[in-house]
Every structure is written in C-alpha cells, then in structure tokens.
Chains A and B, each alone.
Chain A
Amino acid sequence: MAYSFPEEVLEYVFAFLSSDKDRNAVSLVCKSWYEIERWCRRRVFIGNCYAVSPQIVIRRFPEVRAVKIKGKPHFADFNLVPERWGAYVYPWISAMARSYPWLEEIKLKRMVVTDESLELISKSFKNFKVLMLSSCEGFTTDGLSSIAANCRNLRELDLRESDVEDLSGHWLSHFPDNFTSLVSLNMSCLGSEVSFSALERLVSRCPNLKTLRLNRAVPVEKLASLLRRAPQLVEFGTGAYSTEIRTDIFSNLVGAFSGCKHLKSLSGFWDVVPAYLPAMYCVCSRITSLNLSYATVQSPDLVELISQCPNLKCLWVLDYIEDAGLKALSSYCKDLQELRVFPSDPYSAEPNVSLTEQGLVTVSAGCPKLQSVLYFCRQMSNAALVAIARNRPNLIRFRLCIIEPQAPDYLTLEPLDTGFGAIVEHCKELRRLSLSGLLTDRVFEYIGTHAKKLEMLSIAFAGDSDLGLHYVLSGCESLRKLEIRDCPFGDKALLANAAKLETMRSLWMSSCSVSYGACKLLGQKMPNLNVEVIDERGPPDSRPKTCPVEKLYVYRTVAGPRADKPDFVWTMDEDGALRLS
C-alpha cells in the first residue's frame, strides 16, 4: 500500500523545477510522476528539429507555453550547409497552432521561416509574447508586418543575425496605435529605413521598453530623440554612428545619454566616427556589455572608451584593438568574463593590425574572471597557450581561430598540440573548444584524456589519421556536438564508435575521408541515428562504395528519417527494415 503526495502537491513542487535536466530526471521516477510532470511542463527546448517530430512533442507535453527549436548545424553559419538543406519551421508552427493555442514564446535558431509561418504565428496564438529569430532566413519584412499588426500582446521581437529579405521599412508602422506592450526590439540585421516618426511614437508609447537595437539606417542625429523617449532603456544599439561632426548633434546626444540611468549594454556603431564616442562617456561606468565589433576605429579611440568602463563583463571588438588595447583592457576591466576579437581583414595574407597571441595572454593574466574567449589572430605559440591555460583554469569556452590553416607555432615551427593540450588539462570545466593551427593526432589524445566536461568541439584542417577521431569519440564523456571539416578522419574511427553517436546530439564531417560504404553500414547498424550524406555530385550509389562522401551529418532521432530532404541529401539505409528481413 503506497501513499503518495496528492497530485496537486507534486505539481506545486515540480513548478519550482526550471531546468530540463531536472524535469527529465523527475519524469523517470515512476509513471505517475511522469504523467504529472508532462502536464505541467511549460517550456520545451528542441536542440535539433529533426531529432523529434512536432506530433511527438505535442503528445507528450500538451500544455506548453514556450518553445525553443534549433535547426541547421552550426557550420551553416560559414556556408558549409547548402541552401534548401532543410530546417523548415512551418510544420512545427502548423502543428502548434492546432494544439497550443496559449503558446506565448517561440525562439528559433538557424531555421527557415517563411512569411506564411509568421502570419500563422500572428493569427494562431492570442497571447503571443516573444518571437526570437536567431540566424534564421526565408522571410521578408512582409512577415514582420503580420507580427506587428496582429500580436496584440507582443513583448519581444528579436531578429538577431537573421537574413531577412528587406522589402521596405514599412512593417514597423503596422504596430497599432494602442499597442504598448513592447519590452524588447532588435532589428539590427535589417537594411531598410523604417519610418522614423513611427519608431518615435512606438518608443514613446511603450513604457516597458528595455531593449532597443536599431539598424544601420538610423543615423546618429536621430538617436537623441529616441533616447529621451526611453530613458528607462537597459540595452541600446545605435545605427550608423557617423555624420559630419556638429556640436549641436553632439551635445544633444550627450544630454540624451545622460538621462539614461539604467543603460548596461551598448551595440551598433557602424561607420563610427571617433569624435562621437565621447557622447557615451556618461553611461560608461554602468556598462557591462559592449559590442564594438562593427566599429572600424583605431586602438587609441577604443582604449579611451574602454578605460571608462570598469564594470565591463562582455566585450566584442575588432582586431583594431591590437595588443596594446588588450593590455589596457586587462588593466581597466577586472570584471571581464567574455572577450570576442573579430578579424577586420580576414582574407589578406599579411596582418593589417598589430594583434598577436600576446594580447590574449595579457588579458588572460589580467582578468581573473575571464571564462569565454573567441579570438582571431595570425600567429600563435605553444608557450602562449600554456600561459593562457595556467592563467585561466576557469575557462569555459575557448575558441581560437588562427587565420592561416595549419599554421604551426610561429616560434618553434612545431604543431600546437602541447598548447591546446595545456588548455584541456588545466581548464577542467571547459565546455566548448574550437581548434586551429597545425595539429597532429596527439592533440586529440590530450583532448580525449582531459576534456571530460567538453560538450562541443570544432575541428578544421587537423590530425593525421583515424586515431585522432577515435581519441575524441572514445574519451570525451560529455561530448554532444562534434563538427569537423577537412581532416583525414575516416571509416574506422567512426564505425568503432558508432554507439557513442547515440549519446550525442550530432556529428558533422565535411571534406574528410569517410566512405559511402561506411555511411551505409553506420545507417544499418544504428537505427536510432539519421545518417545523412550530402553530395553535390549526384547519388552516392553512382560512385564506388569506397568513394568518400562530400559531407556527412549524423544525429540521433526518435522521428525516423526526415521526409523533407532536398535532392542532394540521402539518408543511409532508410528502408533498413526491408533490407534486414
């Protein structure tokens, strides 16, 4: 005779569980807990839209209010995934429109979103509040018009880094005059000019507006008017920050900024004219996040600005900052947690700025809280990497891109195995790592041995043999995402570690040495994986089995092979049941 808590009590307790991991654990305790939990789960995160179907999600979780779905693999950001590959959101929207009338939030990343989908969203969910489209594509500003016109309770519209077909700026004018609920608007990726008076009126009538990221088309002389209407802003992104210097514009801007007592984050700064940067000095002391990655400004001007931001936690900047600027950063910004340095001229063979490994070493020494790094540079040494590792064992994300593929340690001309080895050995909490430079199988041995918390690994132009891949797949216990390009990894390691792939979200391999035969075998062996071959040269069947495939994408799924493949993608052993009998 078992007594248990009444359902209502359990539900009340479960409501305190926000993490998916906890809720999943709770669901496994017993059938009744599974049942109770599934009825009260409100947020669902789907890391791979093809790992599950909308029907399966809806069947299990009938009362969801917020979904987050990711589509294409990460390498799609760098044009390695062909157009028309997939990740269409429409089937999800249409299923949810029928089953989740109370849906409030949709957050999508790397998915194809059509105007039709946006219109359906705007008409199906009466209490819709949050739309975030991160690195999405397939829609136009007409789709945005539907959202603006129909979502009466919209709070957030965030289009970050999406590729929108910009037909006109007219969409913004579709927000009705009685629409006042906006909290966050990020339109920075759009090209067209919106009606400025419509924007002003929108900002004026939304008292809860906290985030406003403008697009490049909004000139600097218009900023003051917006800031004065929204002094409560916490996050602000400028448009183009250049114009001929006029003292009245400048002083107006200073006045407007000084009224913003809550600003913590600044971004934008396209085409920045350095003389306008001091307009922001009055807010710098509160600034925790600064995105200057579009600011083509020289180091001294950057340093002037940064030196006023002692509370800076996150800095994105171009390599114009140079080693000298990073040295200043390390002395002024002791709270720094995240640094991203982007290349101003990624394609020239010669360095155009004086930014080397030294800058990163200095920051690693001077900023004790630094945990997240993305750094593009043209030279690196094992000594520098070892120093960084020793300085910053608290690193969680370390993404290093040495621009020239297979560049060795510039001092010793050796591979950078030891350096990256030191990173994984010292940084025991490392969750994400991107490698570059000259690397042998040895670095993968270090990674397999030490990187026990590593969840995502990106590899390019590295390794000597299958052994490298084998070390990673057999050693990295926490690995979820592995993406590889242009490495001599082939069949043996892949097939020997087939079971590992079921414990991961996905594996991407392009321009490697995996044969069609091995892909077929993998597909046959592993029914819970979709093994997808991408090949422009036509059906893989028309070439010998030993022929390497162009691109391979393997992911675990409970939804079976996908039905929306384009003509250059083949799922291995789709009709496995027929073949095995």
Chain B
Amino acid sequence: MTKQQANWSPYDNNGGTCVAIAGADYCVIAADTRMSTGYSILTRDYSKICKLADKCVMASSGFQADVKALQKVLSARHLIYQHQHNKQMSCPAMGQLLSNTLYYKRFFPYYSFNVLGGLDNEGKGCVYTYDAVGSYERVGYSSQGSGATLITPFLDNQLKSPSPLLLPAKDAVTPLSETEAIDLVKTCFASATERDIYTGDKLEIVVLNADGICREYMELRKD
C-alpha cells in the first residue's frame, strides 16, 4: 500500500522581516509591511507589529494567520493578568509568557518567528528573540524573518556587544542614541529590500521609551 502524501499543508510563509534594537532607555522595533504568498504579494500595507502591553511590543514574521492567533492569545492573557494583578505585564514577564505559549504548541507549532521588544523594570531597553517553538534569550538586538540572514551580520558588525554570559553583566544594550538606532534600522531595511524579494514596500518603526510609544513609517522599494 503506497503512502499518500498530504496535498494540503496547514502552513504558509508570508515572508517579511522584523528587527529590534535595545538601547539604554529606549527600544526600537521595526518590520516591513509586505505580505506575500509564494511569488505573489497579497498586500503592501500589513502591520507585523503588535503592542502587547504599555512597555512591550512584539513583531513577528512567518505565517501571519498563526501570528494573528498568537497575538490574540497573548492579548487575552495580558487582559486576565491585568484583572488579577491590577497592573500591566512587564516585558520580561511577557517574554516568559510568549515562550510558554509557543512551547505549548510544540507538536503543532505556531509558524511564527518573533522578536519582543520593550523596556524592562528598570527602564532599560530589552529585546527577546525566539525560535518557533519557544526557546528564547534576552539580547541587545535581533532580526527574524526572510531578511534576517541579510540583516543580522550587518547588525553584528555595527552593534556586536560583549556576550551576556560574561560577568560583571555587561549591558547588551547598544550605546547608540535613539536617532542613531532608528537610522541604523532604516539602513538595514534599505539593504535587505535590495536582496530579499519578500521584504519591501514600507517600513514601520515603533520606538518605545519613557515617554511612551511612537510610530513612524518609511517608504521602501516596491519591486
């Protein structure tokens, strides 16, 4: 009896790239706004960034249906947390929650590559990077998605910090100022757009600092 191969896969890859950089008192999270399937572009104006809490923002690339489901689960859990604890969830707490949520789908993973950015309890920028099944790590910068292999080496070159395994715990956060970090992110995406077909159209940049959250957009190549 020959084995029948599945003709239908529950997953699809909608492409896109996300980047996050942690600073001394800010955090920059950016993602492009192109959503594709195969060689087609579904839309040029899709936001991959989701605000989970006052001090916590998540950007995800991969399969956007799974991303949407994941965002809903996390928002609901955050709401329950707020009702039970009468405060917003901190970024490290949200980081652990996201890891557990991803791992509970270990046998049917969320096809979602996430970076979580925000401010920790001391007001310093923090970035958490995840794989699809929930293993995570706090880092100074991170990139996920189709353009990650193009952007990460560049960020390593510009921002490479001493390993967080060293002691005394050297801050993994970058010494760059907020405007410099935003410029760096814009440069990353401009380059990634040149060489990655799934990245382009528009760049959405979210900056979290002590004053709150602000959002800006930059046009990218549309081809």
* Genuine A/B complex: no
Chain B interfacial positions (CB closer than 8 Å to A): none
